């Protein structure tokens, strides 16, 4: 029945493309939403060069993107009030017997499905429906998850072609055995600027039962590029059932002695150094945002489900971000969104190298001049703070050659980083897997900044930097991590902190010191360098860092700097333990008892060290004591 319906309404080419896929569930899915959304026509993308180029051309023809001066560069604008993830209207659709725990935005599944299908009814009239097939992860890999995207936005379709591996051949290969994610998106009615009008009906609903995401009346990538953070939620739920991990982590190769490459993953909350770490010059990148991790014959391996970057562009400059900067100024297929476009058809964004910012141009508000204000009286910035760039990572000079390895890369270290002005040392290794999961992952805490909330310094606990995307209860998430490391040689777990300050508020770390911390961690994973035991973990020895600073940065590393950076701050560490314990006792009813045991053990070690050495303990004192 579904097959005949499709045949009657698709052109011959699109129908033949779908007929090659032997999967009735897929045909039912596409038929249902073609009938419900009522598009004028349908384009099925096989991922061929011709099909992908057609989508890019359609994005320009439709006006959703405009060409810029450099070959391959285009610009897209979202609506003025459609510039970020809509957390309020992003909801899990759950049956009455399912509870994901406190803090999860959810609604009744039947009610949500009824509402979203009513919004979708006829929403694509006057639009073309694009049907696209992707693979989250390398092709023909145990790690990977096929996905089908339905959208009426050529911009969304174009973005996903840059960000994800084409998956049509996977759908053909897997046929009826395929378990795939499903995404339905419509930008809805558009204005003259080709931006979504009906923001009041903006909805992003996640149905875990059928592994389907619905997104309506929005174009902003975080709400519409379903395979990114929305698929992260679906994958995390599936991973929990199957015994693997879906993490909000980069994957990078750290280059060690004699050409050795050691792979790390890393989780950092926003504005804590995640991107700058993964893109360090001299190292190689596998992924900047999401990782799938599996136990393969006792070895933890990981893949990046993406092949591109949807990155914040504000502040990107040639000094701090040379690799991205070079890519953004060379020919190649790149979509800029919500930047300013100058009369010379060049993108401009806040925080770039220019010492002479433009006074006029075209941006997310339309025609713009310096000092312009919106209807609420707010000054309109030259580019939106959440302006983005979208590119395929093959444009980056530091791309790791293992990106598409279906077996993934072996992970030797996991890094957790947060913004912490007064407690954690710059780099520290956990005693073991359980200690690291609890005191560095589950206890990951970061200070807010004045730039984001108006008042800085509030500390937020964000387990594994994945709290916003959890689709399972927090306690189960932590328990999954504890079980996952039950292998003979699990990855080492490290914590980093680039934001430690002295009493006068000055940073104790230089911006590029992170390159040294990475090299130290790389050596530790191969047991080629020693460490000092402290009450909270293992820290570097001074002489080892002195050598590394000279090799990596060409700098003399002073004992005074080392002492300030690696002093154990007992009162602050005890206060942190209290905050973490209070969070889990009051907000996470299913917290594993192991967490409280490990926190209490750490508290006892800190108190014992304070009795012997005082509140602030020099790393040299601990080294001499041989703890």
116 and 226 inside one domain: yes
Where a domain ends, among 354, 373, 395? 395
Nearest CA among 159, 111, 97 for reference residue 132: 159
Residues designated as active site: 272
Dihedrals φ, ψ of 363, to 5°? -140, -160
pLDDT in tens, 489-504: 999 999 999 999 999 9
Give the tokens for residue 587: 């907000």
Domain for residue 73, yes or no? no
Nearest CA among 118, 125, 90, 82 for reference residue 218: 82
221 and 204 inside one domain: yes
Where a domain ends, among 395, 415, 431? 395
Mean pLDDT of the chain, nearest integer: 94
Domain for residue 74, yes or no? no
pLDDT in tens, 40-90: 999 999 999 999 999 999 999 999 999 999 999 999 999 999 998 898 999
CB 426 within 8 A of CB 565: yes
Q: What percent of the chain has pLDDT over 90?
A: 89
270 and 186 inside one domain: no
Give the tokens for residue 600: 């209490």
> 551 is in which domain, residue-wise?
246-308+403-625
Distance of CA 438 to the CA centre of its chain: 21
Q: What local confidence, expressed as pLDDT, does residue 320 receive?
A: 85
Domain for residue 75, yes or no? no
CB 237 within 8 A of CB 264: no
The pTM (predicted TM-score) of the whole model is 0.95
460 and 337 inside one domain: no
DSSP code string of 468-507: GG--S-HHHHHHHHHHHT-SSSPPEEEEE-S--B-TTS-B
Domain for residue 418, yes or no? yes
Q: What percent of the chain has pLDDT over 70?
A: 98
Residue 3: pLDDT over 70? no
290 and 220 inside one domain: no
Dihedrals φ, ψ of 105, to 5°? -80, 110
Direct distance between the N- and C-terminal alpha carbons of the chain, in angstroms, rounded to an integer:
73
Domain for residue 68, yes or no? no
Determine the Cα–Cα distance for residues 579 and 268; give it in Å rounded to an integer: 19
- How big is the chain, counted in residues? 627
595 and 491 inside one domain: yes
Domain for residue 77, yes or no? no
pLDDT in tens, 505-516: 999 999 899 999
487 and 616 inside one domain: yes
Give the tokens for residue 505: 């508020």
* CATH value at residue 323: 2.170.8.10
314 and 431 inside one domain: no
Strands 492-496 and 459-461 come out as unpaired
CA distances from 228 to 232, 319, 532 (A): 6, 29, 40
CB-CB neighbours of 392 under 10 Å: 19
pLDDT in tens, 326-367: 999 999 999 999 999 999 999 999 999 877 889 999 999 999
Give the tokens for residue 415: 């890094």
Nearest CA among 73, 76, 155, 78 for reference residue 344: 73
Where a domain ends, among 373, 395, 417? 395
304 and 352 inside one domain: no
Residue 453: pLDDT over 70? no
Domain for residue 546, yes or no? yes
CA dihedral 99, 102, 106, 107 (to 10 degrees): 70
284 and 156 inside one domain: no
pLDDT in tens, 107-142: 999 999 999 999 999 999 999 999 999 999 999 999
111 and 162 inside one domain: yes
Q: What local confidence, expressed as pLDDT, does residue 455 receive?
A: 45
Domain for residue 76, yes or no? no
3 state SS of 35: helix
Tell me what the mean pLDDT of segment 194-201 comes to.
95
CB 151 within 8 A of CB 64: no
Nearest CA among 547, 544, 555, 551 for reference residue 511: 555
* CATH value at residue 539: 3.90.228.20
365 and 447 inside one domain: no
Q: What local confidence, expressed as pLDDT, does residue 450 receive?
A: 43
* CATH value at residue 6: 3.40.449.10
Q: What local confidence, expressed as pLDDT, does residue 356 receive?
A: 84
Give the tokens for residue 68: 């810029």
Structurally, the chain folds into a number of domains equal to 3
């Amino acid at each position: 029945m579904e097959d005949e319906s499709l045949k009657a309404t698709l052109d011959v080419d699109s129908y033949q493309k779908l007929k090659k896929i032997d999967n009735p569930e897929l045909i039912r899915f596409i038929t249902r939403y073609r009938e419900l959304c009522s598009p004028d026509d349908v384009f099925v993308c096989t991922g061929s060069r011709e099909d992908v180029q057609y989508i890019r051309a359609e994005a320009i023809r439709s006006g959703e993107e405009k060409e810029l001066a450099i070959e391959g560069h285009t610009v897209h604008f979202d609506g003025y009030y459609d510039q970020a993830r809509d957390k309020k209207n992003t909801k899990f659709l759950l049956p009455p017997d399912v509870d994901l725990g406190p803090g999860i935005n959810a609604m009744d599944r039947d009610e949500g499905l009824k509402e979203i299908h009513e919004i979708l009814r006829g929403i694509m009239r006057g639009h073309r429906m694009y049907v696209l097939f992707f693979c989250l992860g390398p092709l023909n890999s145990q790690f990977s998850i096929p996905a089908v995207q339905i959208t009426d936005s050529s911009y969304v379709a174009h973005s996903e072609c840059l960000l994800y591996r084409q998956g049509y051949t996977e759908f053909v290969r897997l046929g009826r055995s395929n378990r795939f994610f499903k995404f339905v998106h419509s930008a809805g009615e558009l204005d003259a600027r080709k931006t979504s009008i009906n923001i009041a009906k903006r909805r992003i609903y996640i149905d875990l039962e059928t592994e389907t995401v619905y997104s309506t009346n929005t174009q902003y990538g975080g709400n519409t590029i379903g395979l990114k953070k929305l698929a992260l939620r679906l994958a995390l739920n599936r991973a929990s059932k199957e015994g693997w991990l879906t993490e909000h982590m980069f994957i990078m190769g750290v280059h060690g002695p004699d050409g050795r490459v050691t792979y790390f993953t890393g989780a950092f909350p926003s504005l804590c150094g995640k991107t700058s770490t993964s893109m360090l010059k001299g190292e190689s990148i596998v992924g900047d945002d999401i990782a799938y991790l599996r136990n393969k014959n006792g070895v933890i391996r990981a893949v990046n489900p993406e092949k591109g970057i949807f990155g914040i562009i504000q502040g990107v400059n040639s000094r701090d971000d040379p690799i991205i900067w070079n890519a953004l100024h060379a020919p190649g297929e790149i979509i800029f969104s919500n930047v300013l476009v100058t009369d010379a058809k060049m993108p401009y964004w806040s925080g770039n190298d220019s010492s002479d910012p433009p006074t006029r141009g075209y941006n997310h508000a339309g025609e713009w001049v310096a000092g312009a204000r919106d209807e609420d009286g707010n000054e309109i910035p030259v580019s939106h703070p959440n302006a983005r760039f979208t590119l395929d990572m093959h444009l980056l000079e530091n791309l790791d050659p293992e990106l598409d390895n279906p077996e993934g890369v072996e992970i030797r270290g996991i890094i957790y980083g947060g913004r912490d002005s007064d407690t954690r040392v710059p780099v520290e290794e956990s005693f073991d897997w359980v200690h690291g999961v609890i005191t560095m992952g589950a206890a990951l805490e970061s200070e807010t900044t004045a730039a984001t909330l108006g008042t800085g310094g509030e500390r937020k606990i964000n387990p594994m930097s994945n709290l916003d995307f959890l689709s399972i209860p927090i306690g189960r998430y932590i328990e999954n991590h504890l079980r996952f490391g039950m292998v003979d040689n699990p990855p080492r777990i490290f914590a980093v902190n680039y934001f430690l300050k002295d009493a006068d508020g000055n940073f104790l770390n230089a911006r590029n010191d992170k390159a040294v911390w990475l090299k130290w961690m790389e050596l530790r994973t191969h047991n080629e360098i020693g460490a000092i035991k402290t009450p909270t973990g293992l820290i570097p020895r001074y002489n080892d860092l002195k050598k590394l600073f000279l090799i990596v940065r060409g700098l003399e590393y002073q004992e005074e700097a080392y002492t300030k950076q690696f002093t154990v701050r007992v009162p602050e560490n005890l206060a942190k333990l209290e905050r973490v314990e209070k969070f889990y006792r009051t907000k996470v009813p299913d917290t594993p008892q192991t967490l409280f045991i490990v926190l209490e053990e750490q508290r006892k070690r800190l108190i014992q060290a304070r009795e012997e050495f005082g509140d602030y303990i020099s790393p040299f004192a601990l080294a001499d004591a041989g703890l």
